Amino acid sequence: MAMGGNDDDRGMMSQINVTPLVDVMLVLLVIFMVTAPMMQQGVQVNLPKADTKGMTAQEDTVIVTVDNNGRTFINKDEVPGGDLRTRLAEMFATRTKKEVFLKADSGVPYGEVVKAMAEIKGAGIERLGMVTEPAQK
């Protein structure tokens, strides 16, 4: 006579052991909590040549261009130095979709491109896209 009872009375256990699942989920949660802030730093840009899918142009698309001589254009109109931020702020004051595409010559110094990006962001533009050429294979 055993005090604990008969082993034959116990049937198959039909519950799932979730402890390993919880352990894995907690590890993944910690990994994502650590890496998420790193992914959101900075402005996402494309390099001058990239294998990307082309975008369809819309009528109200605004393109800021910096040419090889350092001149800045909004669509096809040249903008005098220092007026880019105010011109863009005026253009987008009544628009709900605040999106600009930046197109810079590959010979333009990196600092000039960054200055243009800062002016665009300073005008209150929420989305900034970079225009690139397809990479040669």
Number of domains in the chain: 2
Mean pLDDT computed over 31-50: 58
Q: Both 25 and 55 in a single domain?
A: no
Q: Both 55 and 100 in a single domain?
A: yes
Contact 67, 113 (CB under 8 A): no
pLDDT tens per residue across span 110-119: 888 888 888 8
Contact 87, 64 (CB under 8 A): no
Q: Provide the token pair at 26.
A: 């907690």
Separation in Å, CA 34 to CA 9, 22, 31, 37, 101: 49, 18, 5, 7, 31
pLDDT tens per residue across span 67-106: 888 888 888 888 887 788 888 888 888 888 888 888 888 8
String of DSSP letters for 92-135: TSS-S--EEEEEE-TTS-HHHHHHHHHHHHHTT-SEEEE--EEP
7 within a domain of the structure (yes/no): no
Q: What's the pLDDT score for residue 45? A: 37
104 within a domain of the structure (yes/no): yes
Q: Both 130 and 100 in a single domain?
A: yes
Residue environment code for 124-134, b if the CB has 16+ CB neighbours within 10 A, otherwise e: ebeebbbebee
Q: What is the pTM of this model?
A: 0.55
Contact 125, 88 (CB under 8 A): yes
Of the two residues 67 and 23, the one the predictor is more confident about is 23
Question: 92 is in which domain, residue-wise?
Answer: 49-134
d(C-alpha 18, C-alpha 112), whole Å: 56
Q: Both 54 and 35 in a single domain?
A: no
Q: Both 25 and 62 in a single domain?
A: no
Q: Provide the token pair at 99.
A: 């999106």
Q: Provide the token pair at 51.
A: 């294998």
